[in-house]
Structure 1
Amino acid sequence: MQLSIVIPLLNEAESLKELHNWIASVMRSNSFSYEIIFIDDGSTDDSWKIIKQISAEDPSVKGIKFNRNYGKSQALHVGFDKAEGDVIITMDADLQDNPEEIPDLYHLVSKEGYDLISGWKKKRYDSVLSKNLPSKLFNAAARKTSGLKLHDFNCGLKAYRKAVVKNIDVYGEMHRYIPVLAKNAGYSKIDEKIVQHQARKYGKTKFGAERFINGFLDLITIWFLSKFGKRPMHLFGALGILMFFFGFLFTVWIGASKLYKLYHGMPNILVTDNPWFYIALTTMILGTLLFLTGFLGELILRSSREKDRYRISETTGEF
């Protein structure tokens, strides 16, 4: 199979039939063998009903329904797991991603050998203050942190070589950083392509302003994981030893100062009346806690991570 098109969605009943017809038309005109996988992330409208109707009419359409809303990353995770195509395309279900871009994305991966091609919505139809400006700041921080020179990390329209999606783990809310996850997994041939962005035709966006706060927090997380994810002791252990060492030096200095004053008959004060005593004690305790954090991190890495991050209530089509 040439193509798997993975489409996560939440309450997009109005756009699904139009999106399917548009994708099917593009696939037929390019003679692609393909599958479309809709992942219903706990919709409360008629999205799943429509997906089942489309699947009954078109055997290339498959559907997965979560029993509640787990998030886009979990939807992509299961979509990647089920995809059978040589090239996997992801896109949003709100008609803001143009299916006419799919053939070019496919050829960049299949013919030119790219591991991942990320869409770049250079011209956007979103609000400048609520989306465009925060998005530019977010992408600039992601470029600086990751070293990937992409303009639009969060674009839903992307193309992947099959090996990439089978060897990365999209969890939490890390769908924003799939190119970074791919790079950290050893896939270096990553580029971008300018794609057409369209104004939303139905409904409203499912993401609020909090997504940018979460995005920056996730960026810090993925930076940490890429640097120290496999060696937490190198960070926490080093910081712990350093703080404990400085605390110990403070303690030695306090003790030496007290002995000096006693030896020379100078007025002396209780150790507990010296503020440096509490600074030294706090520093040593923090150092010990940091070291233990690194040690626990190493133990956690050696235990298996829980994989059951979502529950599927129903499927349609043949997987």
Structure 2
Amino acid sequence: MSTPDRTPSRPSLSVVIPMYQELDNVEPMLERVHQGLADYGAPWELICVDDGSRDGTGERLRACAERRGGHVRVIRLRRNFGQTAAMQAGFESARGELIATLDGDLQNDPADIPRMVDALLERDLDLLQGWRRRRQDALVMRKIPSRIANKLIGKVTGVALHDYGCSLKVYRAEVIQEVALLGEMHRFIPVWVAGVTAPQRIGEIEVGHQARQFGTSKYGISRTFRVLVDLLSAFFFLRFGARPGHFFGLIGIAFGVIGGLLMTNLLWVKFWLGEDIGGRPLLIVAILMLLASVQLLTTGVLAEMLTRTFFASGDRTHFRIRWSSPAETAAWKEPEA
């Protein structure tokens, strides 16, 4: 609750909810968010991002926002760019000192947000990840793929969390707004955050989880295979994102050394022992190794040039907004007196 002089007891908060084909969940979700943050005690806003829905989700969001007030803001993307792009659009529009995210399917409980904010501040973290310890999902279609993905991500990246897939998170705005999310990298947000802050400032906390009431899930067991591909990308960008020449260069040098040794051996056999090497498979292997070395080293140089060009350009936006609540009329939900 706010103090008598209306000094907020918590930082200002932006709640970002990406939604896609969630028509029946719009009104219950907005109601749950307002109930969960009724006693937040500081200004807050709700940013709903319609990711190109075709079932009327965007129109219903706009209608609900008009009834609720200026603190409910709606962003509509021109087409379905994916959950990662929708979250990025919300992050870029957020004005709060803290940003909370959750799914729009009513499986996350917005009432957990104030508790997570308090825990983040008390533990002095930059990111607090929700942990759905008691998931209300199908075992084969959701739980098993999620457990496999969580273990793989933790092993490869070194950022060990129980539940990477939980969308219920609380961030410090200045940290998450430094992270540029691309592709389907929302699953790896803690990993990307670890690239701009210390891993020790990333924590997790148990949160509630409920079975989906309306609509259908957009994910299934096929997500596990996409996670494997995304995991390779995450590993590359975390370790070599700013210096891709080192990645390609190391492999190229290794191939060059092996090819050089093989070719040296063949030359010794040819000129010292006087044997014919034209029909030896080892000659083809050595030539291929040397060619691969040159190609990898050249690729590394080109990758370095592209990376420098990318960081020199300021525009990293990979989505397009169709409509957004006017920023000049946006308001905060102020705490009750």
TM-score strictly above 0.5 = yes
Name the TM-score, length of structure 2 as normaliser.
0.89
- Secondary structure, counterpart of 1:207 in structure 2: coil
Q: Residue 89 of structure 1 contacts residue 159 of structure 1 at CA under 8 Å; is this kept in 2?
A: yes
SS at match of 2:205: strand
Tell me which moved more, 128-137 or 181-190. Answer: 181-190
Range 175-184 or range 139-148, more displaced: 139-148
Who is 2:232 aligned against?
220
- Provide the identity percentage: 31
TM-superposed CA distance for 1:86, in Å, is 1.2
Query: 1:241, 1:291 within 8 Å by CA — same for their partners in 2?
Result: yes
Do structure 1's residue 315 and structure 2's residue 324 form an aligned pair? yes
Name the CA distance, whole Å, in 2 between partners of 1:317 and 1:126.
Answer: 38
Report the structure number with the largest CA radius of gyration: 1
Distance 1:258 1:146 in 2: 47
| Structure 2 residues not aligned, in runs of 5+ | 1-10, 331-337
Corresponding residue number in structure 1 for 2:262: 250
The two structures, once aligned, show a CA RMSD in angstroms of: 1.5
Q: Deviations over 1:196-255 (max 9, x none)?
A: 110000011012333221112111111121112222222211221221122122222212
Distance 2:269 2:123 in 1: 71
Which of 274, 278, 285 is residue 272 of structure 1 equivalent to?
Answer: 278
* CA distance in structure 1 between the aligned counterparts of 2:180 and 2:316, rounded to whole angstroms: 10
Equivalent residues of 1:87, 1:109 under 8 A apart: no
Mapped pair 1:191 → 2:203: yes
- Aligned AA (1:313): R
Amino acid at match of 1:82: S
| CA positional deviation for 1:70 | 0.3
Deviations for 1:35-81, whole angstroms, at most 9, x for unmatched residues?
10000001011111111111111221000001110011111111111
Higher-RCO chain (CA-CA 8 Å, sequence separation at least 6): 2
Residue type at the aligned position of 1:194: E
Q: Does 2:292 correspond to 1:286?
A: yes
- Counterpart contact for 1:164–1:187, Cα < 8 Å: no
What SS does the aligned partner of 1:184 have?
A: coil
**Do structure 1's residue 117 and structure 2's residue 128 form an aligned pair?**
yes
1:24 to 10, 19, 34: 34
- Deviation at residue 317 of structure 1 after TM alignment: 4.9
Structure 1 runs, 4 residues or longer, greater than 6 Å off: none
SS in 2 for 1:63: strand
For 1:229 and 1:112, how far apart are their aligned partners in 2?
30
- 1:89 partnered with 2:100: yes
- 5+ long unaligned stretches in structure 1: 263-267
Checking the alignment, whether the CA contact within 8 Å between 2:259 and 2:285 is kept in structure 1 is yes
Residues matched between the structures, number:
313
- Whether the 8 Å CA contact 2:37–2:110 is kept in 1: the answer is no
Which whole-Å CA distance do the structure 2 matches of 1:79 and 1:304 have between them?
23
Deviation at 1:113, TM superposition (A): 2.0
Distance 1:16 1:317, change over 3 A: farther
Aligned with residue 9 of structure 1, among 11, 19, 36: 19
| C-alpha separation in 2, matches of 1:65 and 1:45 | 13
